[in-house]
Structure 1
Amino acid sequence: MRNMVAGLLAGVMVGAPVVARAADCAGLTNLKLPQGEITMVAVTEAGRFVSPYGQPLHGEVPEFCRVAGVLRPTADSNIKFEVWMPASGWNGRLLGVGNGGFAGSIGYEQMGGALKQGYATAGTDTGHEGQAEDASWAYKHPEKIADFGWRGLHLTAVAAKAVIAAYYGDGAKKSYFDSCSDGGREALMEAQRFPGDYDGILAGAPANNWTRMLSSGLDITKAVVDPEAYVSSMKLPAITKTVLEQCDAQDGVKDGVLNDPRACHFDPAVLLCKGGDSRECLTEKQISSVRKLYAGGVDAKGHSLFPGYMPGDEWTSWATWVLGSSAGSGSGVLYMQNYFRYMVFDDPKWNPLTADVDAALQTAEAKTGKDVNAVNPDLGAFAARGGKLVIYHGWDDPAISPLNSIAYYESVQKTMGGEKMASFARLYMVPGMEHCIGGPGANLFGQLGAPSAKGPGTGALADLQEWVETGKPIGEMIAVKLGTDNKPVMTRPLCPYPQVAKYKGGGDVKDATSFACGAE
């Protein structure tokens, strides 16, 4: 997840840039922060930039003032953050970037892209350093879990605004946040707990219900790691091929993408092996595993813990996330295992195969729920101050069920009312998009600094800014799929949920103009 947008950053500017006043970057060394300190200030020349992790950013960056610091709200806190500010051509806005997985690093790639677009930008490691799947830092460190869950992002936003105001002599006119996955959870956490931090929030594939999502993963793992039930990724092409044969044409277009996979009632039993086992069929136990993956995990009474995966893109999306190269090696299993071992039970030897799902969920809720879950449907304070929220989720997401975003959106709608909801929030379900980006469908629409179909100055973030700053609501967006030569091979409308893009009955099926948004 950390480098998922490398190579895709493009300039997106809305409105005329604000000419920065002459500012003394070095003078920021003496800036006082209430719960931390500045540790490094440097004028960084235009050109190539290599992150502290040794990774060169895509393309060149303009000259900027780089400020690094550490925040220590508790004795066990060590929240590293950075703020980057264009030396000239600042557009007057702050763009905060988030994290993936268990965080542990600063999103330098996305920060570099934001800088090129004219933003002052900020990011944090949320209080620890480590790879995205690693949660060992949380072992017996409850304050670090709070820093990861909500405190690090909030305090970084506060510090970034202070740094920006000191550098430019004036604060950012508007502040935005753009992230996905755990960053989508962070985005919703900001809207729910700290409605004054950001004016506009772009939340992709939010992992906002960690306790139930990973308890569901525990139940699924117990069912599918049996060597006889494990489905090798070599069998995935046959599953996807059969799904598409059965369901692809349901939306009026046969294009390898399911417009809404909920309409596909695929039963993997049609692939039952008649003779010997092969890549083209599934055994009885493997059929049960696939059904479990579609259904999602349940508690002891059979009640759903978290929705399952959608049919239509098992190959290639399930290969790494869901199944891995051997039984129990998928990324989802590692996230689940590390969460319970290091954040919930403080037991490195905790074994998911012998664990009780209901007890695990109960303990997870009690110990970490208040810090990591972002499920509050009352966004009244955020809406009242003029905040705007855009949630998006790929229908082919193999990491976080897309049905979870629909469930959260509808919970906000039920709590606040449809008319109020429409005044400040939108949900976009993206056919053929996998986790945050990529997949067989049109999946680039200006999220995470990615290109958009209509070029610079357009796309999700630009539309969100226009909504915040002019009051023009977001409607249809256009997504694009790029080929290996970075040229468009497909465009498709993205419609505000619950609308869907419907084929008009004529025209190129790979051209967005052949579709129109309407009721499903």
Structure 2
Amino acid sequence: MVCLAALALVASASAVLGETTPRGSKASCAQFSPSNISDVTLTAATYFHAHARVDISNVFSSINTTDLPAFCRVELKIVTNATAGSFAVTEVWLPDAWNGRVVTVGNGGLGGGVTVEDLGAVAVPQGFAGISTNTGHNSGVADGAWGGPHNDNAIVDWGWRAIHLSVLAGKEITKQYYHKVAKRSYYVGCSTGRLKEIQNFPDSFDGIVVGSPAAWMSHLQPWSVHMSLNVLPATSSRFIEPSVWTDVIAPEVLKQCDALDGVTDGIINEPRACFFRPETLTCTPGQNTSTCLTEDQITTIHKLYADYYVGDQTYVFGGFYPGGEKAFGTGLVGNPPFPLSQDWFRYFVLNDTQWTQEQYNTSLLALGEQLNPGQSDAVTPNLTAFADAPHNGKVLHYVGWADQLISPGNSLHYYETVHAFARANTSLAVDDFYRLFPVPGMNHWCSGPGANSFGGGSSQKPPLSFDAEHNILGALMRWVEDGIAPSKIVAVKYKDDVPANGVAFTRPICKYPSAVRFRGGDPNSASSFFCA
């Protein structure tokens, strides 16, 4: 089914281009030898026939499938700083049936590794030449040890440089392989979303899909520690066990807020309308505390759902939103502490391998802002160079309302700052270049009880179709190339989040500030809901 949809999209792409697009082959892959690309070395070019076994893994990502069309896997070594001797590993996957476009796929957290899963799940099946990099190092998502001691050069590679150089190299590789310049350049990524690239290099992409971006690392990581310290140590009276989040708090949140959108379905479609009162769970004398909340725990919950401010009420970050409780206890407010945040301070800010989060104080927030490790903060609201003529770039931004690792409030905050800047300083209307789609019931990247698959990356599982109605990359492509902007995207929830098990239900994802409302009918069908 996926392969047929991919072939249909390739045919559609050819029609859009109005010409026959170049095709690759086993011979062109075997003979490929790029020339005159400064600081770029070809390390391998491997051809995969249609439905060949593609079994590739690294510390960050893996793929093992026989469902892909024919393509050439080009592996590169890109020098990022000749003086320091640093380099990034980058891959460009070039399908035989090329649709005339390139798409760069992102990474996540502090991880380093070519995202082969998305090259195989997003790029090649849809006919794109796909680009991905290890960001200059190899590591898992939460491992920041590679950043120390004082490895500032590697941190800069991770922060922006490796992906920028990879985009430049990937476009040139694509041009030389097909003997034709790509018509359009896109980006798809979640978590470590590349808002930085369109802010600094507005010509890199014609459009980007960015999911729950960790674009304000100097604030995100202090907030993560702050959230953890609200509940730890685990021996304290304020700690909340994962089972209490799942079996006690989550059902009560749904009891109070689930039906606000017109249907009781286990999903909170507009969490900002939910004023959760944890006091209803207060322990009565003699009650087993595993089935209720103590006064200290209730106080903690109020802190966790509140925005984080410091000093003279300076905004730092948003809080949790109702609806993600089943994931909270194993994320930032679980035990042991979330490792990524601790590594951020140890290796990126303080260069102190013995530091623990119990030593956190708000002075470290200011220090992190000042250092801005890797120049990774990407919060400038001025997207004029990207969005205005003649470039006319487009942003589709999504975030799970039930995100347990990065507050959805962070996405809303950035969107509103862009909106305000555009209104005050330009003639641009934010809807003409930037649209935000909050996803009810979706955790960070994917999972959760909501409809969580709509083409945002391999972790989400495939969309129902690669067309613009169901696939956020397809929606972006139609907006950029045909001028048709999306107001909703139809997402799918697979049974047990396994596509082979069939469809559980479909739901629209509405353009912010609209929210999903039930109009009546079959609650498992997207047609029974509307955006208002």
Structure-1-length-normalised TM-score: 0.91
Distance 1:30 1:164 in 2: 10
**Which residue of the partner structure matches residue 108 of structure 1?**
116
Sequence identity, in percent?
A: 36
- Report the alpha carbon displacement of residue 300 of structure 1 after superposing the two structures with TM: 4.2
Correspondent of 2:104 among 82, 85, 96: 96
Corresponding position of 2:308: 297
Match of 1:338 in 2: 343
The equivalent residue for 1:126 is 135
Cα distance in 1 between the residues matched to 2:213 and 2:144: 19
Alignment of 1:172-251 (within 5 A): 172-182=182-192, 184=193, 186=194, 188-226=195-233, 227-228=235-236, 229-236=238-245, 237-251=247-261
1:136 aligns with 2:141: no
Counterpart of 1:377 in structure 2 is: 381
User: Which whole-Å CA distance do the structure 1 matches of 2:221 and 2:89 have between them?
Assistant: 27
SS of alignment partner, residue 289 of structure 2: coil
> Is the contact between residue 482 and residue 488 of structure 1 (CA under 8 Å) also seen in structure 2?
yes
State the shift of 1:35 in Å: 2.7
Q: Which of 57, 65, 77 is residue 58 of structure 1 equivalent to? A: 65
SS in 2 for 1:508: coil
Which of 77, 80, 86 in structure 2 is aligned with 1:77? 86
Pick closer, same or farther for the CA change 1:395–1:8 going to 2, 3 Å.
farther
Partner of 2:9: 13
Distance in 2 separating the partners of 1:104 and 1:127: 7
Distance 2:405 2:528 in 1: 31
Counterpart contact for 2:63–2:116, Cα < 8 Å? no
Give the direction of change, closer, same or farther, for the CA distance of 1:444–1:477 in structure 2 (3 Å limit): same
Question: Which letter maps to 2:116?
Answer: Y
Taking the aligned partners of 1:32 and 1:60, their CA distance within structure 2 comes to 34
Residue 432 of structure 1 is matched in structure 2 by 441
CA shift for structure 1 position 453:
4.1
Q: Which amino acid aligns with 1:310?
A: Y
Give the deviation of 1:221 after TM superposition: 2.4
Instruction: Find 1:409's aligned residue among 410, 415, 428.
Output: 415
Task: Name the structure 1 match of 2:328.
Answer: 318
1-side partners of 2:215 and 2:440: how far apart?
21
| 1:279 aligned residue | 290
The answer to whether 1:387 aligns with 2:393 is yes
Query: Aligned in 2, Cα 1:8/1:247: closer, same or farther, shift over 3 Å?
Result: farther
Residue 155 of structure 1 pairs with residue 159 of structure 2 = no
Matched residue SS, 1:25 = helix
Q: Residues 30 and 95 (structure 1 numbering): CA distance in 2 closer, same or farther, change over 3 Å?
A: closer
Deviations 1:81-126, CA, capped at 9 Å, x for gaps: 011101x211111111000110211110110122122111010010
Of 27, 33, 36, the residue aligned with 2:37 is 33
Amino acid at match of 2:9: M
Using the TM superposition, name which of 48-57 and 70-79 deviates more.
48-57
Corresponding residue for residue 256 of structure 1:
266
- Partners of 2:466 and 2:485 lie apart in 1 by 20
> Which is further off, 47-56 or 381-390?
47-56
RMSD of aligned alpha carbons? 2.2
Aligned-pair distance for 1:510?
Answer: 2.3
Q: In structure 2, what is the equivalent of residue 352 of structure 1?
A: 357
AA of the residue aligned to 2:55: V
Deviation at 1:42, TM superposition (A): 2.5
| TM-score between the two structures when normalised by the length of structure 2 | 0.89
C-alpha distance 119-207 of structure 1, shift in aligned 2 (>3 A): same
Structure-1 separation of matches of 2:180 and 2:487: 33
Q: C-alpha separation between the residues in 2 aligned to 1:403 and 1:120?
A: 34
Quote how far apart the aligned CAs of 1:456 are. 5.3
Quote the offset at 1:293 in angstroms: 1.7
Decide which of 443, 446, 460 is 2:452's aligned counterpart.
443
Alignment check: 8 A CA contact 1:501 1:517 kept: yes
Say which structure, 1 or 2, has more relative contact order (CA 8 Å, 6+ apart).
Answer: 1
SS of match in other structure, 1:57? strand
1:292-330 Cα offsets, whole Å, 9 max, x none, are: 221243324454411111112311x11322333x3x33x
Give the corresponding residue for 1:4.
none
1:50 is aligned with what amino acid? D
Matched residue, 2:505:
490
In structure 1, distance between residues paired with 2:303 and 2:288:
20
**Aligned residue for 1:309?**
320
3-state SS of the aligned residue for 1:323?
coil
Cα shift readout 1:424-478 (whole Å, capped 9, x = no counterpart): 1111011111112221111222221543345656421111101111111112211
Residue 476 of structure 2 aligns with an amino acid whose one-letter code is L
The residue number in structure 1 matching 2:484 is 472
Where structure 2 has 5 or more consecutive residues not aligned to the other structure, the ranges are 15-20
Q: Contact 1:93/1:172 (CA < 8 Å) preserved in 2?
A: yes
Q: Residue 208 of structure 2 contacts residue 394 of structure 2 at CA under 8 Å; is this kept in 1?
A: yes
SS at match of 1:78: strand
Change (3 A) 1:279 1:8: farther
CA distance in 1, matches of 2:75, 2:465: 35
1:516 matched to 2:523? The reply is no
User: What's the counterpart of residue 364 of structure 1?
Assistant: 368
Structure 2 CA distance, aligned partners of 1:59 and 1:65?
Answer: 15
Q: Is the 8 A contact 1:216 1:296 kept in 2?
A: no
- Structure 1 stretches lacking a partner, 5+ long: 1-6
The C-alpha deviation readout for 1:356-378, integer Å capped at 9, x for no partner, is: 22x11111111125611110111
Deviation at 1:32, TM superposition (A): 3.5
Contact 2:418 2:430 in 1 (8 A): yes
Q: 1:3 matched to which residue of 2?
A: none
**Which secondary structure does the structure 1 equivalent of 2:371 belong to?**
helix
Residue type of the partner of 1:89? A
Matched pairs, number: 500
1:409 counterpart letter in structure 2: Y
Q: CA shift at 1:404, angstroms?
A: 0.9
Cα distance in 1 between the residues matched to 2:4 and 2:159: 27
Q: Which of 264, 274, 278 does residue 268 from structure 1 map onto?
A: 278
The answer as to 2:434 corresponding to 1:420 is no
Q: Is the 8 A contact 1:44 1:64 kept in 2?
A: yes
**In 2: Cα distance, 1:470 partner to 1:311 partner:** 37
CA contact (8 A) 1:232 1:323 kept: no
Distance 1:9 1:79 in 2: 35
